[in-house]
């Protein structure tokens, strides 16, 4: 049995997986924090007043796309509202940057005559849009839609990432089981149980244990080849 000379080197002081108690990264904000980007000051002011009346917190205001991206990076808001046509960097280009960096959901502002830009805005990552002129009754549903779609998208991305990770772990565990069967004469169920037990005993993930088994086998193989040479 591999217990006496287990081909796994556990870390001397394994760190717990759980986040520390003082980690506030998952504590939701008391209010939805918003960055507004609109080059027309009057529209920007009206929108800010509407948002604050509805309980939102405006953490940044921008008059161009470049400043909007900078404010989004700085404040990490819950939502960024972008006008489509702005100086220096247009809203669609700003939305692309904010989306690529996974900073926040984007809500686009567009004039009625600019509806042909809506598809481009969606391709850039915008979750919803508002057509100007808009009223307070239009703002909240649009914000809720943008935030909801963004949340669903992130959950889907996480599910895909988790599935990919599970598949990778399964491949590594299968390779490690094969090595344990060949090198130690274990049955497949026994090899799997050994990996599970080692994972729990040494506070390592099964993927880490499997990787260590594979690495140890590769080192032994290389050593034997060197001896023959």
What percent of the chain has a predicted confidence (pLDDT) above 90? 45
Task: Render pLDDT for 5-43 as a digit per residue (tens, 0 to 9).
Answer: 445 543 333 333 343 444 444 444 468 899 999 999 999
Residue 82's nearest CA partner among 101, 63, 100 is: 63
How far apart, in Å, are the Cα atoms of 77 and each of 31, 46, 59, 187? 11, 20, 8, 54
Judged against a pLDDT cut of 60, whether residue 125 lies above it is answered with: yes
* Helix, strand, coil tally for the chain in percent (to 5): 60, 10, 30
Residue 47 belongs to what H/E stretch?
helix 41-53
Segment 91-104, tens digit of pLDDT: 999 999 999 898 99
Mind listing the pLDDT tens digit for each residue in 71-92? 999 999 999 999 998 999 999 9
Contacts (Cβ under 8 Å, ≥6 apart) of 204 = 8, 10, 11, 14, 198, 212
Find the helix or strand (DSSP H, E) in which 122 lies. helix 118-123
What was the pLDDT predicted at 112?
67
How many C-beta neighbours within 10 Å does residue 17 have?
7
160-228 is a CATH 1.10.10.10 domain: yes
- Note whether 192 and 153 are within 8 A (CB): no
User: Global pTM?
Assistant: 0.62
How many other C-beta atoms are found inside a 10 Å radius of the C-beta of residue 32? 17
Residues 6+ positions from 181 with CB-CB distance below 8 Å: 187, 188, 191
Domain-wise residue ranges, the chain: 33-134, 160-228
Q: Please give the angle made by the CA atoms of 70, 97 and 19, to the nearest 5 degrees.
A: 80
What is the C-alpha to C-alpha distance for residues 68 and 196, in angstroms, rounded to an integer?
49
CB 54 within 8 A of CB 39: no
Can you give the pLDDT at residue 60? 95
Class of the 33-134 domain? alpha beta
């Amino acid at each position: 049995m591999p217990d006496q000379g287990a081909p796994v080197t556990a870390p001397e002081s394994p760190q717990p997986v759980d986040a520390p108690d003082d980690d506030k990264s998952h504590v939701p904000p008391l209010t939805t924090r918003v960055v507004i980007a609109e080059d027309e000051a009057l529209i920007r002011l009206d929108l800010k007043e509407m948002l604050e009346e509805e309980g939102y917190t405006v953490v940044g205001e921008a008059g161009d796309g470049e400043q909007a991206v900078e404010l989004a990076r700085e404040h990490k808001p819950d939502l960024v509202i972008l006008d489509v046509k702005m100086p220096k960097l247009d809203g669609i280009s700003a939305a692309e940057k904010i989306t690529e960096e996974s900073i926040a959901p984007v809500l686009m502002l567009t004039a009625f005559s600019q509806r042909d830009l809506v598809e481009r805005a969606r391709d850039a990552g915008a979750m919803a849009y508002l057509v100007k002129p808009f009223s307070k009754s239009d703002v909240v549903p649009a914000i809720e839609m943008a935030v909801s779609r963004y949340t669903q998208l992130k959950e889907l991305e996480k599910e895909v990432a988790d599935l990919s990770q599970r598949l990778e772990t399964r491949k590594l565990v299968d390779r490690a089981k094969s090595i344990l069967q060949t090198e130690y004469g274990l049955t497949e169920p026994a090899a799997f149980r050994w990996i599970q037990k080692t994972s729990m005993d040494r506070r390592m993930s099964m993927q880490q244990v499997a990787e260590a088994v594979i690495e140890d086998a590769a080192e032994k193989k290389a050593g034997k080849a060197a001896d023959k040479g």
